[in-house]
Structure 1
Amino acid sequence: MTTGLKLTSFDDFLKLARKQAEPQQLLFVFTRNELPADHTPEQAASYAAGQGGHLAPVVCVDRGLHEISGFEAFASEAEEHIDDWAVIFAAALPGIGNRPPTPLAIDQALERMVDTVRSGQIASYIAFDREGTPLRLATTH
């Protein structure tokens, strides 16, 4: 997706996707903050104090641009189906030749996206908080 628009909100992401020459399918991975299974006592104490943990994927979904009017409606729909999500990772999958991406391409891209979010490789995605504000996340390994 070409940029030129500064993203200050989820709705800016939608505007940018709508400006693309090829049809876009939007991909989302909803995550929640969890304590890793192999955590140390120090990590558990930090987590109990409201710090630390990791973002674990809980739901992935794709939407066409015509299916999302704005963040408020999208977040409201998510609230009905997903408990305690913390961060949404978003990406756009372009079509080819003025045709939308195929269902197979969408499924493969979502699977790859979940795997990379799970492993902390998030640099190619845009992260949004529960208010639709873009986040800058750092990874530690």
Structure 2
Amino acid sequence: MIASYTDLMQAVQEQPEPQRLLFVFCRAELPDDASDEEKAAFDRGEGGALTPVICVDKAPAEVAAFSSLVEESRETGQAWDVVFVAAMSGRGGIEPSSDEAQQPLTMMVESIRMGHIGGYLPLDQGGEAVDLN
């Protein structure tokens, strides 16, 4: 069970093929037509919709520490609440390139926009897994 970014990086290192990591940073937002009950829940840190604000792919070596990923995300000026992570496996001992990651990353963003998040690891700003149920 992966419960943190540290666990994820350990699992990535144990894979038989080199990996490339896909990240989609999302901000929790309240829809304009939210009810008073939904607004109150949102104020308590519950509910809302997750809107992708940043997406990037990285080689594991580029983001060995979660703090470096967070710092890079801050440089964009985009606030975020949750980051979803997925991994792409290479072939024949060759790590997937950034070009190869573009289509899967785009599909990941669209999937998250549609609320289909089951296949991704959600992490909070401290690198801990989040239960979004």
Which of 96, 99, 107 aligns to 1:112? It is: 107
* 1:38 Cα deviation after fit: 4.4
- Structure 1 position 134 matched with structure 2 position 117: no
- Output the TM-score relative to the length of structure 1: 0.84
* 1:8 Cα deviation after fit: 2.6
- Output the TM-score relative to the length of structure 2: 0.88
SS at 1:135's partner residue? Answer: coil
Q: Determine the structure 2 residue equivalent to 1:101.
A: 96
Q: Determine the structure 1 residue equivalent to 2:2.
A: 7
* 1:48 Cα deviation after fit: 4.4
Contact 1:29–1:88 (8 Å) recurs in 2: yes
Q: Determine the structure 2 residue equivalent to 1:3.
A: none
Contact 1:87–1:127 (8 Å) recurs in 2: yes
Aligned length: 133
Q: Pairwise mapping of residues 1-141 of structure 1 onto structure 2 (< 5 A)?
A: 6-48=1-43, 50-138=45-133
Contact 1:26–1:90 (8 Å) recurs in 2: yes
Contact 2:58–2:98 (8 Å) recurs in 1: no
C-alpha RMSD over aligned residues: 1.8
| Alpha-carbon separation, structure 1, partners of 2:129 and 2:77 | 20
* 1:69 Cα deviation after fit: 2.3
Amino acid at match of 1:26: L
SS at 1:55's partner residue? Answer: strand
Q: Structure 1: where are the runs of 5+ without partners?
A: 1-5
Identity among equivalent pairs (%): 38
Amino acid at match of 2:71: S
SS at 2:72's partner residue? Answer: helix
| Alpha-carbon separation, structure 2, partners of 1:102 and 1:71 | 21
Q: Structure 2: where are the runs of 5+ without partners?
A: none
